[in-house]
Amino acid sequence: MKTVSLVKLNEKEKAEVVSILGGQMATKRLVDLGLTAGTRVKILKKAPLFGPVEIELRGSALVLGQGLAAKILVRRGE
Amino acid sequence: MKENKELNIVLAGNANVGKSVIFNHLTGLHQHIGNWPGKTIEKAEGTLHYRGYTINVLDLPGIYSLSTYSTEEIIARDYIASQKPDFIINVVDATHLERNLIFTWQLLELKKPMVLALNMVNLLKEKGIEIDIKKLEKALKIPVVPTAAIYGKGITEILNQGIRSIKRKRATTDPIKYGKEMEEKIGWLTERMAEISSVYPKRWLAIKLLEKDKIIEKLFEKKNSEILEQAKIFRSELKKVHGHDPSIMIADERCHLVSQVVKEAVRVTEPQATGLNERLDNITCHKILGFPTMIFILGLVFLSVFQFGNRLSYLLEKLSFGWEKWYEGMFGVSLWTYLGWSVAESAFALIQIALPYIFPFYFLLFFLEDWGYLARVAFLMDNFMHKVGVHGKACIPLMLGFGCNVPACLACRIMETRRERFITGVLTTFIPCSAVSVIIIGLVGKFIGLSWALGLYGIAFLTIFVLGKLVSKILPGEATELIMEMPDYKIPHFRTVILQTWFRLKEFIVIAGPVVIISGIVIRMIRFTDWLTAVADWLSPITVNWLGLPAITGVLLIFGILRKELILVMLAALLGTADFSQILSPRQMVTLALVSMFYFPCLATFAAFRKEFGLKEAIGVASFKIIFAIIYGGLFYRLGLLF
């Protein structure tokens, strides 16, 4: 299965995190918030005009800026 | 009293978990909000007496990790390790247990007695979440106390459990075991540390070395460089095998262990919630409806504050009338009573801005924050704010700026990096505060028309936009991306909102108070010594020749440095009438309002800015603003000739 960037998903779509392309700092911070490879996420909302993305992650809602979300690679599907 | 012992405890946890609500319940009004030494990070301390103990409570900043991502994190771990609190209260949001427990795991590694306050249990039922407390206690090996902090439930039980855990004196066992490979390396490093004395637990040091924690590495640099070398070898070994940095691997394993605990102890069924909050969320973040809703809500806030403010301000004005005569009759007329009156007058001016405008405005803003709406504003505005070089959270200090720039400057602390704090700080000084709004509405709005007043706000926004773009281009470093948890909508908690408002108002009074009172005395002195015409003449090349204003405005602008609303007050005093159209043409009114809006950020804001960003930076921004406002005003005046 092909991996895509998180921002490519539509609202309500589910996916599994494959890897994070961001720098060490951003990656560490995301991992501290529980966003690790293999985690299941669901797109809750996408802000209008290419704004940030809100995802469901480990039972909580997290908002990620567009640029950061673009660096998170995921695999589509249940 | 044999039993009167002192205990030191800390509250630790993520942001928005109700930590400060618990802190307020514990300490009531016996609290002191200051700064960490040398840092611009808030330090909240308080005391209480309970069962013969005097308990000092410290509320640590809300954080998500104990690494070196932010100063808050470093402060928290240093404090816990070096000050050795008798126990830690780790506050977690029961409705988002899994994410919260990731931080709990890190706290456990510091090996201090700890109690888990499982907060917001009152919301579990409607969300369809069941938590097995016994299983959670067994997995974490610490007492777990369910609490509903906003109703004050479970608070004393936390203390009981904490005191019991000290008496038991049971060392907390290592709760976390990483994978075999990682444990071998941690074990090897821990053994070599036998002779090292440090406030931190050895195992924790070993983990931090594998995580390549820069501050911990420094501890080893001089005397124990061989341990450092070995850690480096281990790191590259791990990286070669797994393709990831060990710090990521460790965090990864933590997440994995946490999710196993959650799987054991938490059961999620169908939520019972009415779905009202969800519907509200869908509208307020909607692709098309989101923005109009935001404009409506914020517009309502601004309008109602100004309606309320104008009325109250008028009432206060009436109330204050005639007191000077009474004062003079009471104390006579001399230089000292003259100065004394100026102090009273300044204090009253402070109340005139704080009570009618800042107080209701901040009350409504913190109401919106507690409700959950401000996070939605950050979500909607993030994209736009990025164009100005900061992310969506910058909206919050910028909005506070409409009340007063002083608390707005201090609120820039919510931004993560210094670069973003600075950009946001500079931009807040360009936001028309309530004093500037008094000028815009009282001069331009009243004598020319509301559309012109709104136009001035438009110019302010445009200026902020262009400047933000410029500053973010000039300053080195990259823009940080927004990472923010989205809180659920909840019924705002009145006490929390009032307390928040009060703390901000207190900040305003503490910083602005002395500046306003001293400047009040200075104003009196200047008027007393009759320097007015000299100052007016001296500034006339700028005011008359370049800005096209009457010479008297030079004096007004000097006073405006002290407090911006003085520009109108003094104008009325010097003219002997509030009918400004007698002396100023409409074009001059707009020019004066424009210059007042952008030139020197009043002295109190200057003081706040210096406190947050340093003297050099404050002088730099202030000089830039003065030059900018003069150029802008002059250009406008010349352009205005065309109309």
The parent domain of residue A20 ranges over 3-76
Is residue B316 in some structural domain? yes
Shared domain for B216 and B158, answered yes or no, is: no
| Burial category of B153 from C-beta neighbours within 10 Å (exposed 0-12, middle 13-18, buried 19 and up) | middle
Taking the CA of residue A29 and the nearest CA in chain B, the distance in Å comes to: 7
pLDDT tens per residue, range B152-192:
999 999 999 999 988 776 555 555 688 888 889 999 999 88
Is residue B273 in some structural domain? no
Residue with tokens 């008094």: B438
Reported as a pLDDT band with limits 50, 70 and 90, residue A24 is: confident
Shared domain for B235 and B319, answered yes or no, is: no
Helix (H) or strand (E) holding B592: helix B586-598
d(CA B436, CA B453): 11
Taking the CA of residue B299 and the nearest CA in chain A, the distance in Å comes to: 21
The parent domain of residue B184 ranges over 180-268
Return the pLDDT at A17.
Answer: 93
- Mean pLDDT to the nearest integer, B277-295: 89
CATH number of the domain enclosing A62: 2.30.30.90
Report the domain count for chain A.
Answer: 1
Provide the H-helix boundaries in B354-493: 359-371, 373-387, 395-401, 405-411, 418-428, 434-439, 446-447, 450-474
Shared domain for B262 and B342, answered yes or no, is: no
- B382: three-class secondary structure by DSSP: helix
Shared domain for B119 and B142, answered yes or no, is: yes
Residue with tokens 């020319």: B448
Is residue B235 in some structural domain? yes
Taking a C-beta distance cutoff of 8 angstroms, is the pair B118, B94 a contact? yes
Residues of chain A contacting B, Cβ within 8 Å: 24-34, 36-37, 39, 44-45, 47-52, 54, 57-68
Shared domain for B227 and B297, answered yes or no, is: no
Task: Categorise residue B130: left if φ over 0, alpha if ψ from -120 to 50, beta otherwise.
Answer: beta
Asked if A65 and B375 come within 8 Å (Cβ–Cβ), the reply is: no
Shared domain for B88 and B191, answered yes or no, is: no
Beta strands per DSSP E along B51-188: 53-59, 87-93, 114-119, 129-131, 144-146
- Mean pLDDT to the nearest integer, B115-137: 93
d(CA B472, CA B427): 11
**Pairing verdict, β B114-119 and B144-146:** parallel
Task: Categorise residue B322: left if φ over 0, alpha if ψ from -120 to 50, beta otherwise.
Answer: left
Last residue of a domain, one of B233, B268, B303: B268
Shared domain for B46 and B89, answered yes or no, is: yes
Residue B326 tokens, joined: 């009474």
Q: Is the pLDDT of residue B2 over 50?
A: no
d(CA B524, CA B125): 63
Taking the CA of residue B433 and the nearest CA in chain A, the distance in Å comes to: 28
Residues of chain B contacting A, Cβ within 8 Å: 64-65, 67, 69, 95-99, 102-103, 245, 247-248, 251-252, 255-256, 258-259, 262, 268, 285, 287-288, 290-291, 375, 378-380, 382-383, 386, 391-392, 479, 481-486, 488
Shared domain for B568 and B456, answered yes or no, is: yes
Torsion of Cα atoms, B193 then B194 then B197 then B198, to 10°:
50
Return the pLDDT at B119.
Answer: 95
DSSP labels, B503-561: HHHHHHHHHHHHHHHHHHHHHHHHHHHT-HHHHHHHHHIIIIIIT---TTHHHHHHHHH
Number of neighbouring beta carbons within 10 Å of residue B142: 22
Q: Which residues of A touch B99 (CB under 8 A)?
A: 33-34, 57-60
Reported as a pLDDT band with limits 50, 70 and 90, residue B101 is: very high
Amino acid at position B266, single letter: V
Q: Which residue of A has its CA nearest to B291?
A: A48
d(CA B130, CA B142): 19
Return the pLDDT at B72.
Answer: 86
Taking the CA of residue A64 and the nearest CA in chain B, the distance in Å comes to: 5
Q: Which residue has the higher pLDDT, B182 or B533?
A: B182
Q: Is the pLDDT of residue B351 over 60?
A: yes
Is residue B277 in some structural domain? no
Shared domain for B194 and B323, answered yes or no, is: no
Taking the CA of residue B23 and the nearest CA in chain A, the distance in Å comes to: 24
Reported as a pLDDT band with limits 50, 70 and 90, residue B326 is: confident
Taking the CA of residue B128 and the nearest CA in chain A, the distance in Å comes to: 12
Point out the residue among B65, B248, B378 whose CB comes nearest to the CB of A27: B248
Is residue B274 in some structural domain? no
Residue B484 tokens, joined: 């923010």
For B44, phi then psi, to 5°, come to -110, 120
How far from B628 is each of B405, B474, B563, CA to CA, in Å? 18, 17, 19
Query: Rounded to the nearest 5 degrees, what angle is found at the Cα of B593, between the Cα atoms of B591 and B598?
Result: 95
The B87-93 sheet, strands edge to edge? B31-35, B42-50, B53-59, B5-13, B87-93, B114-119, B144-146
Shared domain for B120 and B201, answered yes or no, is: no
Return the pLDDT at B71.
Answer: 82
Q: Which residues of B touch A64 (CB under 8 A)?
A: 481-483
Mean pLDDT of chain A: 89
DSSP secondary-structure letter at B562? H
- Mean pLDDT to the nearest integer, A43-49: 89
SS3 content of chain B, % helix, strand, coil (to 5): 65, 10, 25
Point out the residue among A30, A54, A59 whose CB comes nearest to the CB of B486: A54
Percent of chain B with pLDDT over 70: 97
Report the domain count for chain B.
Answer: 3
pLDDT tens per residue, range B601-610:
888 899 999 9
Q: Is the pLDDT of residue B628 over 80?
A: yes
Asked if B256 and A36 come within 8 Å (Cβ–Cβ), the reply is: yes
Shared domain for B253 and B294, answered yes or no, is: no
d(CA A26, CA B251): 13
DSSP secondary-structure letter at A59? T
Asked if A48 and B287 come within 8 Å (Cβ–Cβ), the reply is: yes
Shared domain for B140 and B191, answered yes or no, is: no
d(CA B158, CA B113): 12
Amino acid at position B490, single letter: K
pLDDT tens per residue, range B435-451:
899 899 889 998 999 89
Here the ipTM equals 0.93
Q: Is the pLDDT of residue B588 over 50?
A: yes
Helix (H) or strand (E) holding B76: helix B71-83
Last residue of a domain, one of B121, B146, B168: B168
- Mean pLDDT to the nearest integer, B221-241: 87
Q: Could you tell me the end-to-end alpha-carbon distance of chain A, in angstroms, rounded to an integer?
A: 13
Is residue B283 in some structural domain? no
Mean pLDDT of chain B: 87
- Mean pLDDT to the nearest integer, B21-25: 90
Residue B229 tokens, joined: 């070398």
Q: Is the pLDDT of residue B1 over 50?
A: no
CATH number of the domain enclosing B154: 3.40.50.300
